[in-house]
Amino acid sequence: DTAVSQTPKYLVTQMGNDKSIKCEQNLGHDTMYWYKQDSKKFLKIMFSYNNKELIINETVPNRFSPKSPDKAHLNLHINSLELGDSAVYFCASSLPSGGYEQFFGPGTRLTVL
């Protein structure tokens, strides 16, 4: 059983397009996250949602918009894609209590041409 899943795994698109990445967790967690991992493997938090409410919104271009239809899903929509958006995007989720450990999805490799 997959705990945190993301689709698609790979996404290749042209500059200027709009694309979405979907994330689902079946762990019953109440907080979900989006991270961006750049070409140097550096991981940076983008967004955090707790019970469908935005908690963290780091300095991210407003072309990026998270959407959480329910506690188990957190999608990432990106408008007007740019070359610099090429990266691996990870979704994660965490328990409501007991610590801060996060469970990560397999990642979506986005390539903007």
Partner 1 sequence: AQSVTQPDIHITVSEGASLELRCNYSYGATPYLFWYVQSPGQGLQLLLKYFSGDTLVQGIKGFEAEFKRSQSSFNLRKPSVHWSDAAEYFCAVGVSGSARQLTFGSGTQLTVLP
Residues at the interface with partner 1 (CB under 8 A): 4, 31, 40-45, 48, 50, 55-56, 90, 92, 94, 99-107
Task: Please say whether the beta carbons of 81 and 16 come within 8 A.
Answer: yes
Pick from 95, 84, 71, 87: which is nearest to 23 by CA? 71
CB of 87 to partner 1, least distance (A): 14
**Alpha-carbon span 3 to 53, nearest angstrom:** 21
CB of 93 to partner 1, least distance (A): 10
CB of 75 to partner 1, least distance (A): 17
Q: In terms of CB distance, is 75 or 94 closer to partner 1?
A: 94
SS3 51: coil
